Structures are given as C-alpha cells and as structure tokens.
A and B are shown apart, each in its own frame.
Chain A
Amino acid sequence: MSDSIYLDEARDPLIIAETWMKDGKDVAIATVVETWGSAPRPVGSHLVIDAGGNFHGSVSGGCVEGAVVTEAVDVIGSGKARMLEFGVADETAWQVGLSCGGRIKVYVERLG
C-alpha cells in the first residue's frame, strides 16, 4: 500500500539506473520475473547495480541481493543476460536461499 502518488525519485531503482547511465556508468538491471510461494518481493521488482557493485532497490528483501550483485557485475562485463533462480531447492547451487521458503526467478541484463 503506497500513499505517494508520485515517484520517489531518490529511491526509485529505474530512475537511479537512468541517472547512473547519464553519469557514464555501466549498469545492470535485475528484475523478479517469477515467484512461487511466499516470495518477499512481487514480480516486476528491480535491483539496479553498477560495475562497482553499488546497488539500489530489492528483489528479495535482502536474502539473495549479494548473489545477484555478483552475477550482475559479470553480466555488465559480458553483456550477456542471465536468468537466476533462488529458493530452498537451490541452496547447493547458489549457497543462498530464501528463508521464507519461497522461490524466485531473477532476470539480469545489462543496460545498453
């Protein structure tokens, strides 16, 4: 439930991504494209990451952001988009999981 009818420019990940781009930074955008169970952030949520590993936004409320940032820095380097999947079933693959028991799929792509 949001009471603001206007964008929160200082915190909005897509606005920040555009600002970073204008500043000449390399940027990756991560987007939650699918959720199962009690995922903490809804489909469409964004995390934006620069080549230095700085980030804004959220795809999981903190559970898997670290892993997404690492992947995103690679994506910035290669330019090749990746689909990541996190959840209790994937702990061995990713070493991270969602404590809530949900699963999420995150698409990570380079801006430009």
Chain B
Amino acid sequence: MDPYALKTLNAERRARRAAILVTDLGDGRDRIVREGDQVAGDLGAAIAKAFRSGNSGSVEAEGRTFFLNAHLPQPRMVVIGAVHISQALAPMARIAGYPLEIIDPRTAFATSDRFPDVALHPDWPQDVLERQPLDSYTALAAVTHDPKIDDFALKAALDANCFYVGALGSRKTHAKRVERLLALGASADQIARIHAPIGLDIGAATPAEIAVAILAQTILAFRSRGLDVKGAAA
C-alpha cells in the first residue's frame, strides 16, 4: 500500500468523508477515490455502486482485477424533539444501524427517564450543532412542531448537505416553514430537499408507525445517495 494513500484514507475517515481504496491485485498499485470523483468505465460503475452500498469487493475491469475497499462513515440520525415519535424511533434506528441523538431544549421532554440509553442533549440545536456539526452522513428529522427549535436545525442540515432532512407537519405548516427558511437565506433548491410531511407514505397513524415511516425514508435516502431517485417524498 502506498503510504500516501494510507494517510489520505485515514484523513478522510477521520473527517467522516467516504473514500474507496482501489487496489490493482495484479501489480499492487493503489489509489484513493473520493465520493464525487469521476472514474470512467466499468471500474467507475463498480466504484459508484460501492459508495452507495458500502460493500467492499473485487471487480474485473479493463482486463484487470481490482479490489475496492469502501470506507463509509457510520451514518447517524439527529432528531430535533424529545417527543413520542423519537421515543419509538431511537431504538428502531439503532437496530437498523443508524445511531441516533436527540436534541431538545425543553428539559421536561428531554429526560433520561423518557429516553433510557439514548444520547440526549437538553440544549438548543444552535449550541449542540456548534459542538457536533452535521455532515453528509447525518440524517436530520425535526419533529417538535416549534419553529423556534426546528428552523435553525433544518437550515443547518441543508447547509451541511445532510443525506436526509425531514420535518414534521402538515402541508400548510410546511408552507409557512418554507417562507421562514427562505427568510433565513435557504435557497428554493435546498428547501426542496426537505421531506415534509415527514416519512414514507405508509398510512402511519401512531407515533411508532410514524417512526417507522421516518426510518424507512431515511434508509431510502441513504441507499440512493448520488442517484436521481426522489424517494417518494410524502
């Protein structure tokens, strides 16, 4: 392995950015491909697939055998709002492989009694997200219904290019939210990325079912990164 490739790879992994180490198993030469780098041909197609799935493996291309070692950051979820939906979502998301943190400045909601074994921040999103910034391997779901709490986090999620951004609320609620986000400086293209009403349309009726809908939509967004799939935004 090329020492420079190892240094580059580790730097990307520390920064929570995806990278693939491509090794020619014939001559041992290797190089790092970052997400978004253009690679032509069959090798490029295999690399794009590995970025989406996170699966490593060998590929035959151009008469050679390459090993693609995909290093994807651990995806995670940040939920704004320590509400009923979040109580159901936290264990489900963890089981599905998306560790979850909850931010809610309302200390009556954000208690460890209500959320055992969950990373809980009884603080304003402004303060928490400054310490632990969002990134493109983070999903953000805003479920408080309170613009004072949700709006800042939604704008931050759009700016950080979170792979999933969802916001609870009816179409009418969302229309007002769009106005406020525009006023905060979000672009129309950014705002179009918000899933609102939140969650895949599975007819969810209870907080736990809404949690399933949010998690399913998050997984769909994660597995279709870089694809031109709109993901049934409900």
Binding site for B on A (CB under 8 A): 1-7, 14-15, 17-18, 21, 29, 31, 33-34, 42-44, 81, 83, 107, 109-112
Instruction: Pick from A43, A44, A81, A107 the residue with the most CB of B within 10 Å.
Output: A44
Verify B55–A43 contact, CB threshold 8 A.
Answer: yes
Question: What 0/1 readout, one digit per residue, does chain B (29-46) give for beta carbons within 8 Å of chain A?
Answer: 000000000000000000
Instruction: List chain B residues, Cβ under 8 A from A31.
Output: 23, 67, 69
Question: What 0/1 readout, one digit per residue, does chain B (108-151) give for beta carbons within 8 Å of chain A?
Answer: 00000000000000000000000000000000000000000000
Verify B6–A18 contact, CB threshold 8 A.
Answer: yes
Verify B3–A112 contact, CB threshold 8 A.
Answer: yes
Instruction: List chain B residues, Cβ under 8 A from A17.
Output: 6
Q: B195 contacts the other chain (Cβ, under 8 Å)?
A: no
Alpha-carbon distance between A63 and B94 when the two chains are bound, in angstroms: 30
Instruction: List chain A residues, Cβ under 8 A from B57.
Output: 33-34, 43
Verify B56–A44 contact, CB threshold 8 A.
Answer: yes
Residues of chain B in range 1-20 having any CB-CB distance to chain A below 8 Å = 1-3, 6-7, 9-10, 13-14, 16
Instruction: List chain A residues, Cβ under 8 A from B69.
Output: 31, 44
Q: B74 contacts the other chain (Cβ, under 8 Å)?
A: yes
Instruction: List chain B residues, Cβ under 8 A from A5.
Output: 16, 73-74, 76, 99
Q: B231 contacts the other chain (Cβ, under 8 Å)?
A: no
Looking at chain B's contact residues, the main secondary structure is mixed
The chain B residue sitting closest to A3, CB to CB, is B99
The chain B residue sitting closest to A46, CB to CB, is B69
Please give the distance in Å from B4's CB to the nearest CB on chain A: 9
Verify A111–B10 contact, CB threshold 8 A.
Answer: no
Verify B58–A14 contact, CB threshold 8 A.
Answer: no
Instruction: List chain B residues, Cβ under 8 A from A81.
Output: 28
* 17 pairs from A and B in contact (CB 8 Å cutoff): A1-B95, A5-B73, A5-B76, A5-B99, A6-B74, A14-B10, A15-B10, A18-B6, A29-B1, A33-B67, A43-B56, A44-B56, A107-B23, A107-B67, A109-B28, A110-B1, A112-B3
Please give the distance in Å from B90's CB to the nearest CB on chain A: 12
Instruction: List chain B residues, Cβ under 8 A from A21.
Output: 3, 6
Please give the distance in Å from B37's CB to the nearest CB on chain A: 19
Instruction: List chain B residues, Cβ under 8 A from A42.
Output: 56
Alpha-carbon distance between A33 and B10 when the two chains are bound, in angstroms: 19
